[in-house]
Structure 1
Amino acid sequence: MMKSLKLCVLFVFIALVSASALFAETAELTLERMFSYDPHPGSAIFAEKVPFNGKMHDFEIVFVEEWKVSGENGTLKQIAFKIQALDGSNVVASSETIPADAAKISKGQQIGNVKIGDVGFAANVTDIAKNKGGITDLTVSFKLTYDKATIESAQKQSEKRSASGLDFARQLASRAAAMPEDKPAAKVSMYKRALMAAPAAETSAEASAFHNEINAAINGLEKSSPAFAPFKQTEPAFVTTAQPEPPAVVEPDDTTPVTEPAPQAAPVRKADIPAEAVALYKEARSMFAQDKGPEGREALRKALEMAPAYYDALQLLGDNASENRRWARAKDAYKQALDLRERDAETLLKYFKACYYIGEGAEAILYLEQVRSKYPAERRIQLTVAEANFQLGDLPAAKALCEELLLKDPDDSRANDLLQRVNRLHK
């Protein structure tokens, strides 16, 4: 009799536990990102906070990517994701997925599934683009799952701590408001950074009002600013007319097609670089090629001590820092190089990429626009600014710049390629 009673109680207990699990309501957040060799952020934060250990936390995905590079192109070698719970700027918990080999990745495949406490994280492939070398573009959908019943108590704990985050967000919003009116892409980018830094709208009435205010500012910029309007031709069509003999030499202006602009003369000629500095630079290149990073950086350091304005050495310093994802160091090196040759379109794009990775893409766009305004006839610089706007997410501005280039030269393959990429996303 007692055994039967104990078994009955046990079955009832199991049934109650199962029922509570069955009826527990699961909430989820999703986020989608496309990965390619083009510049893109190294992490992303889910739009809303999630309950974790009794408090509301931001959850950030850190992208751990490895690419195989051939010239300017790259194919994915492997990818993994680190999901981490943030308390302000502090990581309080994290978990990392097993790296997925790109050669084995297929559409619809789950390439990550881990948990932090009671919060689940999954990564699923939604789209793939390939060439002969492998995957060039990978689109992944991320999902967080958690118990909805824990939100209310966690929100109450978090309300007390939201004020400091809102103060910082207001500082970013003030920086955005102070930016020039003719740089709407940069202003919008900074406003969006302010929104990301702010507490979630539902945490307090004050936070909700801030979100409404900033979203209204962003909407106003996107609707009213000329930079967000489709490009309109303001110049007359270029017409070729017969020239008298001998032909007159005409300096190109904004309406004249320009092929290859002459590079800006460097303040320091290569002939003026000490031979020992040149030898150290070559040694650094050799060391890097042999995967001897510390030795290469030491040789490069010595070369730049001898010749601080050695353009090639500064370029190499920036490239090595970029390869090692030391974006702040890369930014500084490229900026020093640009101080010597600001018309170098390739270095301008590298500088933007480094800034973008450390969250300073908006500021970098302002600098690129300043350079473009100084050299309006240089097509390569305009294309660089278009590519930077594309990476920053200002598709209308990127489209306008590409269309302007194509009006002057319909056969510009790089402008055509970029415009096609813009049109795929900007519909």
Structure 2
Amino acid sequence: MSKGFVQGCVLFFFFFIGIFLIEGAEKPTFSAASTDGRLLISLPRIISFDPHPSIAEFQGDIAYRGSRVTGSVEFLEKWETKGENPCLKEIGFKIKLLKNGAEFQNFEFPLKQLETKKIKKGGMLAESKSGDLGVNIVLDHSQVIGKTLTGISFTVNLFDFGTEETSQLEETSVPPVPSTTMASSSTLPSPQTVGNVLEFAFRFSRKADALPDKNASTKIMLYKQALSVVPSSETSKEAQDFIQETTDKIASLKRGLPSGPRSVVASAPVASTGYSEKHVPSVEVKNLYDSAKKLFAKNQEPEARDLLRKALEKDPLFYEGWVLLGKNAFSNRKYSKAGEAFEKAVSLRDDDSDSGLYYFKSAYYLGETEKGLEKLIGMVKRYPQSNSSKIALGEAYFQAANLPLCEEMCVSIIQNDPENVQAKKLLERAREKMR
């Protein structure tokens, strides 16, 4: 064996070790957050090439050192669109924490390249620590087509490493995805008292009860969700008490007053407000609509939209016209116009879960997630036996990254319809991302 060969092997060995050490040094280790830090709040998020809000707020206040803190996360993304599927090449984050409306802490993570081979479930996308506060961002799932990274889901976690005693505010803080084992309301019977039929309604109600009244819109949304899953066939006194008390809480929140129990009076069923009768458009309107469809098929969209608008000007109650106009606007990412069209469609047929889901997606991409959820919650409330409306709401919860509520909606469907394939598949997707 020649001396040169031996020297070459030695050099290669040290070169390899050097590369290994460099790569190892670049890998983040946030073990302290996992063992010593106290989790303050988490924010799950799903990102794909579809337009979506670039900033998300932590849901609920953060109890820290006797004060309530709010926070937001800005997502920095770099996409490559050369191939058939858009590829997420780089990602970064900006996290801001505010106390009494003033920024007091921030974490910035500049754009960092993502490599399909290296990113794995449970891996760290970013991490940092400043004083007593620390943050890590953990990958939950990656969507890969071929060798192209087309989307990811992750969770932003905020930790407290301090030892200072906090105030009682800490005991009432609620993370964005509250546990379904939260203590029940003192004024309502437990689910065991009335059986499984009201179990999911009580879960939603307890989540709302645990939130502070300053989060009124979120509380109202959860209370409405609780009402929506109460079967219309349930006429027990416990169910009627629950319905009335929850209705009173919603009314109290809307008036800006503290929510609390009031006297129980049986509530009347919610009536449908949609355009229930079959509407028949005129021959002229139908011809304009058919001509618009043909032009859309030929990719002559401006001319098609012009004909469609003329049809709707002549007949504003033409449901099919609003749906077609909304779908075209949505496909062109004109989400404001799409939302207006689908809102009109739902006003004409208030059981149209497809248009309701399109409305939610339009609102979501405009950063108005709660507004979109409200529309679907109202639909489920009007038609509590409609699985299509519940599936649409479950899909909306999934897209909004509210996976526990998505899970509960699916389970409530499967309890009454064990063979519902859509609910089973959606439940499987939700639980996969929650692992």
What band does the TM-score fall into relative to the shorter chain?
Answer: 0.3 to 0.5
What TM-score do you get using the length of structure 1 for normalisation? 0.47
